[in-house]
Amino acid sequence: MGTRPAWHDTWSIVDDTADPGFFVRFLELTRAPLLNAMHAAPERFRQAHLLEPGLRVLDVGCGSGHFTQWFAEMVGPEGHVTGLDASQVLLDEAGRRARGLGLPLEYLRGDAHQLPFASGTFDRCYASLVLEHLEEPARALAELVRVTRPGGHVIVTANDFEDPELTQRLDPVSRQVQEVLRSTFRNGLLARRLPELFFNSAGLRGVRVEEVRQAFEHLNPVVRDMIQGSVDRAVAEGRVTAAEGREHLANLERQDAEGRFHIAWHTLKVTGQKV
C-alpha cells in the first residue's frame, strides 16, 4: 500500500500527503459497488440524479472522475459536464480515465468555497461526499446554489458515521477508534445537519432527503489501511493502548478470515431546486 497517510483532514490536502496514490486506490475501491449498480440499472441512476440529454452539469469534488464520466454519458453530446477538484493528482487520474472516450466533459482545479463560474451556469450541481471535508460547508452549498440556474437542482451527499453497523460489539476500544475515524473529517457529523443546511439555504425549494446504505463485507487492504490509521492516531492520542489497538485489528482480521467481517454506514442524499 505504500506509506499510509495521516488521516486527519487529508482529503482536503491530497496532493501534500506522503502517498497521494492511496486516495486514487481508495476511490477506485469504494466507488466499485456504486458503479456496478449503475451499470446494472442505468435508468435508475439517471432518474435518481435527474439527468437528461443536453444538460450542463457540475461535479464538485469529482475526485478521479467515476461519476463525472457517467454524468457525461447521460447528458450526451448536446450537454456538457465539468468536474472540479482541489487535487491535481485526482484530476490527472480523472483525465487519464476519460482519455479517448470522446465524452463532453472537462476537468478543472478549484475551491468549492469559491467556484470559478458565473451565477446560473449549470442545470445540475453535485457534491458527493465532499462537504464534510470542507472548512465552511454552508458557504460551499451557497456557491452550488449560486452557480445553478433557476429551476435547476443541487444534489449533495454526506456519509453518516455516527452509528455504523459493525460485526464486533461496540466496546470502549471500538468506540474510541470510531470517534477518531469520524474526527478525520473536518465536519464528521455533517450528514445530520445537511437537511437543515438545505432548508435554511436561500434560493432552494422542494428539498428531498433520502438515505442510501453502503456496506463492506471484507477487510480489503484499503479499508484496513483506513482503520489502521485510526488505530494509530487513537494510540498516539492516548485514547487506547498499543496493545488494545493491536487486539482491535487482530479481531477484525479474525472476523474477515471467518467470513464474519461487516461494516456499513448510511449516506444521506439531499436534493433541492433553485428558485
Q: In whole angstroms, what is the distance from residue 218 CA to residue 39 CA?
A: 22
Residues facing residue 159 across a β-bridge: 267
Domain count, the chain: 1
Q: In whole angstroms, what is the distance from residue 213 CA to residue 42 CA?
A: 19
Are 226 and 170 in contact by the 8 Å Cβ rule? The answer is no
* Structural domain for 58, as ranges: 10-164+184-215+265-274
Tell me if 232 is assigned to some domain: no
pLDDT value at position 6?
Answer: 45
- The beta-strand segments (E) located in the chain are 56-60, 80-85, 105-109, 122-128, 148-166, 204-216, 263-274
| H-helix or E-strand spanning residue 22 | helix 21-40
Q: Count CA atoms closer than 13 A to 22's CA, side-chain side.
A: 24
Tell me if 176 is assigned to some domain: no
Tell me if 177 is assigned to some domain: no
pLDDT band at 144 (very low <50, low <70, confident <90, very high): very high
Report the range of poorest mean pLDDT among 37-41, 51-55, 154-158, 219-223.
37-41
If DSSP codes are grouped into helix, strand and coil, which group holds residue 227?
A: helix
Q: Of the candidates 38, 34, 37, 27, which has an alpha carbon nearest to the alpha carbon of residue 63?
A: 27
Give pLDDT tens digits for 216-254: 788 887 778 778 888 998 999 999 999 999 999 999 999
Question: What CATH number is attached to the domain comprising 120?
Answer: 3.40.50.150
Segment 10-14 mean pLDDT: 76
Q: Say which residue the cell 451565477 belongs to.
A: 119
Specify the amino acid at residue 143: E
Give pLDDT tens digits for 176-209: 988 887 777 788 789 989 999 999 998 999 999 9
Cα–Cα distances in Å, from 217 out to 56, 132, 222, 235?
A: 37, 25, 13, 26
pLDDT value at position 166?
Answer: 64
pTM: 0.84
pLDDT value at position 101?
Answer: 94
Tell me if 228 is assigned to some domain: no
Cell matching residue 248? 482491535
Q: In whole angstroms, what is the distance from residue 169 CA to residue 175 CA?
A: 10
Tell me if 246 is assigned to some domain: no
End-to-end CA distance of the chain, in Å?
47
Tell me if 4 is assigned to some domain: no
Tell me if 51 is assigned to some domain: yes
Q: In whole angstroms, what is the distance from residue 120 CA to residue 71 CA?
A: 19
Q: In whole angstroms, what is the distance from residue 255 CA to residue 168 CA?
A: 9
Tell me if 252 is assigned to some domain: no
Cα–Cα distances in Å, from 199 out to 75, 202, 203, 209?
A: 28, 8, 10, 11
